[in-house]
Structures are given as structure tokens and as C-alpha cells.
Amino acid sequence: MIYFCPVCFREIGNGSKICPYCGTDIVHWEKKTTYVDKLIFGLGHPVSEVRMAAILALGLGRWVEGAIPLAKCALRWPMDRVQTDAILKSLERIDPTPQRVSALLLLLSHPSRTIRKRVEELLGR
């Protein structure tokens, strides 16, 4: 199994307590970081399955603080259509708040015309 630092996502050894690359105290980070923040950090993970788990969990939890990070995730990996579809479904689950609107506005710059059209529908345009 491969282990990654939860902050810089560099590969580290199993059981590492301090990341040799960014110096993060992993045990302290695990204790002080909320579940939602861990999910948001997971959106930057290099393994797509980890990102997908975070995307789905943020949507199921309807956490508004995840809205903008979800949009940024879609823009960071624009060619991952399955991931982007899941992000849009997660954003649909989040109550219509200013953060959700801001996230959708960010997605209007997505390179996919199909995604932009779907975002416009979610915005009610």
C-alpha cells in the first residue's frame, strides 16, 4: 500500500509521523483537522479514487464549505469527466448559498461546453 502526506500528498513510508518533504506532524494534523477539512484536503489528492470519495462525501454531507473547493477540483482536473459529473451532483445537493453560487460561477470557466451549459442550468440561466 502507498501512503501519502495528508498536506503535500508526497509519497511517505507507512507509519511516518513527520512528512520528510513538508515537515507536517501527521499525528498532530490528524488530531486537529476536522472531518470536513480532511475531505477538502482530499480534493487535491493525486489518486482519483481518493478525490472521488471526498467529492461524494462532501455532497452527501451537504457541507457548504466544500462548494468552492469542489469547483476548484473540477477546474484542476478538467478532463476527468466522471469526477466533474460527481462534483456537479454534489454541488446540487448543497443548499443554495452564496458559496454554492460562487462555486458555480467559477465553473462557468470550465473548458467543457457541456459542463458550462449544465452549470448555467443550475444557476437558473
In a domain, 79, yes or no: yes
Please state the pTM of the whole predicted model. Answer: 0.90
Mean pLDDT of the chain: 95
Average pLDDT estimate for 20-24: 94
Cell representation of residue 55: 467529492
Q: Are 26 and 6 in contact (CB under 8 A)?
A: yes
In a domain, 19, yes or no: no
In a domain, 11, yes or no: no
Q: Are 75 and 107 in contact (CB under 8 A)?
A: yes
In a domain, 4, yes or no: no
Tens digit of pLDDT for each residue in 59-115? 999 999 999 999 999 999 999 999 999 999 999 999 999 999 999 999 999 999 999
Q: How far apart are CA 84 and CA 55, in angstroms?
A: 9
In a domain, 28, yes or no: no
Backbone φ/ψ region at 23: left (φ over 0), alpha (ψ -120 to 50), beta: left
Q: Give me the CATH number covering residue 94.
A: 1.25.10
Domain count, the chain: 1
In a domain, 15, yes or no: no
Tens digit of pLDDT for each residue in 25-72? 999 999 999 999 999 999 999 999 999 999 999 999 999 999 999 999
Helix axes 81-93, 67-76, angle to 10 degrees: 170
Domain around 50 = 34-123
In a domain, 48, yes or no: yes
